Amino acid sequence: MWAGKAIALSAILVAIAAMTPAAASAWAPASQAKITPGVQTDTAGGQCTANFIYTNGGDVYIGQAAHCAGTGGATETDGCDAASLPLGTPVTVSGATQPGTLAYSSWLTMQQTGEADPDTCAYNDFALVKLDSADVALVNPSVPRFGGPTGLGGPSATGDVVYSYGNSSLRFGITQLSPKQGIVVETVGDGWSRTVYTASPGIPGDSGSGFLDANGAAIGTLSTLAVLPTPLSNGVADLDHELQYARTQGGLLGLELVNGTEPFRPNLLQAILGG
């Protein structure tokens, strides 16, 4: 009797796995995928670079910065006060056949819940775009040129090496300028963010792009491009903090980062040359 139940349960689990987009077999081959971390997103004219792929149950999302949907000026960076387009706003995702939908915004969530912590308000800059079901088969979660992510990373220390892939249209399609290697200068905001220098620095349109640590783990998302007090530096929000907030305050209890199918290759020259 128990053997029969075990076999039945096993069959059910196999069937569920087959239906779950997070299963490795569900993703397009990396060499053929049209939608990956690093593609451009456009939210009513707000151009950004996507960071990573996420799942929540059967839904598949691509991440961007919350300020990509902002409707105020570039200096409005406090997510507890800054204006934003509403959830449900269509988002153009490069490579997709259908518009995605703005499904979560840390800015809107913080305003709805009355968030008062100044560090959270200043640095929680994360949004999710739900991909149309017709486009899920076009997705691969691997970061272009570098591979990974290999999981979710932890806190950074000064001097840690990081990697990123920016895809601003201001580079005019010169993809050799997209891979970046950098170093953590400091951690700020009670762990909510880190200041990072990269070569080359992030530019407008790179906002939202993902950062990997030396082991290929996803550690953050590009939130700000600083002019002062540290010129040409990047403000990189902590991804673990952002995901925890989305789960506890945004109601996305099952939200998970999807690991890449390609191995992590921490070689900037190789990434630039496309090898």
Give mean pLDDT, residues 50-73.
Answer: 94
pLDDT of residue 231: 55
pTM of the shown model? 0.86
- Domains annotated on the chain, with CATH: 33-138 (2.40.10)
Using pLDDT thresholds of 50, 70 and 90, give the confidence band for residue 110: very high
Three state DSSP letters for the chain = CHHHHHHHHHHHHHHHHHHCCCCHHHCCCCCCCCECCCCEEEECCEEEECCCEEEECCEEEEEECHHHHECCCCCCCCCCCCCECCCCCEEEECCCCCCEEEEEEHHHHHHHHCCCCHHHHHHCCCEEEECCHHHHHHECCCCCCCCCCCCECCCCCCCCEEEEECCCHHHCCCHHHCEEEEEEEEEEHHHCEEEEEEECCCCCCCCCCEEEECCCCEEEEEEEECCCCCCCEEEEEEHHHHHHHHHHCCCCCCCEECCCCCCCCCCHHHHHHCC
The top-scoring range by mean pLDDT among 22-36, 119-133, 231-245 is 119-133
Give mean pLDDT, residues 84-105.
Answer: 98
